[in-house]
Copies of this chain bind each other. A is one copy, B any other.
Amino acid sequence: MQTAPLHAKPVPAASPLLAGSNPAQALLLTENAALTNGPPLLFQRLTAKEREEVLREGQKRVVYRGKMLFSQGTPHDGIFLIESGRIRVFYIAPSGREITLAYWSAGNFVGGPELFGQGQHVWSGVAATNSVVVHLTGKTLRRLIAQIPGFAIGLIEGLTFKGKCYSALAQMLGTRSVTERLAHLLIHLADTYGVKEEGAIAIGSAFTHADLAHMVGATRQWVTISLKRLQEQGVLKAEKAKIVVYDLDALHVMRGDR
């Protein structure tokens, strides 16, 4: 997730959102599987025609990896609908400590919890991969809500969903130890990105220790130490940019649900 220069990949011409069939995901720290498996897609309830209309109203923007989409403290105006790529939403405290709320994929929108603006962003958003987003201003949103009933419902569903995400994160951070949170995250990663590999599950995602640390709300070093400890216990094996989980059940025990 470094911000190193990348060969700018060509931006796809046709919007995948028009098809309305992408397996949208949200990657975040939670114990509620329902939250991460099926975030409600904003476009799900719309006809092809309505989808086109929404996209026409918005302003398409290409965001390269490492570039900021919006920043905490800056004025808020509307939302960003993700067409492709992955957006990391995070917050940095005055002290420099950082917490990642979630990684959002195509079909979701970011830039909440407010919809119409009139405030400031409380989170920041950065492109975790080269991404394409559609910016819908507060003004445009009002118009679309009035015009397309399904769009309004989709937005409310989206807001409700985000509410659940925030609240799940707060619960995790408030009541679970870092170790438990890490176990949670690993189970979730295994679920989402895991590939079965002769009895074990390989997580091939390119998350650095720092990325994981931000997701569980801990320091990079502590994640390194914890992973090493888990490795010594035979629960998993950490190779570079790849984690192989041998004993998923042990993680569940650690998490506190078995």
Residue numbers of A with Cβ under 8 A of B are 32, 91-95, 97-99, 101, 112-115, 122-123, 156, 159-160, 162-164, 166-171, 173-176, 217, 256-257
Would you give the shortest CB distance from A124 to chain B, in whole angstroms? 11
| A65 CA / B156 CA spacing, docked (Å) | 34
A93-B175, A97-B175, A257-B94 given; A170·B160 CB < 8 A:
no
Would you give the shortest CB distance from A78 to chain B, in whole angstroms? 14
Contact B114 A171, beta carbon cutoff 8 Å: no
> In the complex, which of the residues B91, B122, B159, B256 contacts A94, with contact meaning CB atoms closer than 8 Å?
B256
Contact B175 A91, beta carbon cutoff 8 Å: yes
Chain A residues touching B, majority SS: mixed
Number of copies: 2
> In the complex, which of the residues B122, B164, B174, B257 contacts A173, with contact meaning CB atoms closer than 8 Å?
B174
Chain B residues, Cβ within 8 Å of A164: 113-114, 122
Chain B residues, Cβ within 8 Å of A160: 113-115, 159
Apart from A92-B175, A174-B217, what are 8 other A-B pairs with CB-CB below 8 Å? Answer: A93-B175, A94-B257, A99-B174, A112-B163, A123-B167, A159-B163, A166-B166, A173-B173
Contact B175 A99, beta carbon cutoff 8 Å: yes
Chain B residues, Cβ within 8 Å of A170: 99, 101, 166, 169-170, 173
Q: Which 4 A-B pairs give the minimum distances between C-beta atoms?
A: A99-B174, A113-B163, A166-B166, A93-B175
Chain B residues, Cβ within 8 Å of A97: 174-176
Among residues of B, the one whose C-beta sits closest to the C-beta of A95 is: B256
Chain B residues, Cβ within 8 Å of A112: 163
| A114 CA / B257 CA spacing, docked (Å) | 24
Among residues of B, the one whose C-beta sits closest to the C-beta of A116 is: B160
Would you give the shortest CB distance from A164 to chain B, in whole angstroms? 5
Contact B171 A93, beta carbon cutoff 8 Å: yes
Would you give the shortest CB distance from A37 to chain B, in whole angstroms? 14
| A162 CA / B165 CA spacing, docked (Å) | 12
Chain B residues, Cβ within 8 Å of A163: 112-113, 159, 162-163, 166
| A77 CA / B171 CA spacing, docked (Å) | 21
A159-B159, A164-B114, A256-B94 given; A122·B175 CB < 8 A:
no
* A-B CB contact pairs (8 Å), 24 listed: A32-B122, A91-B175, A95-B175, A95-B256, A97-B174, A97-B176, A101-B170, A112-B163, A113-B163, A114-B160, A115-B160, A122-B164, A122-B168, A123-B167, A156-B159, A159-B159, A163-B163, A163-B166, A166-B167, A166-B169, A166-B170, A170-B170, A173-B173, A174-B217
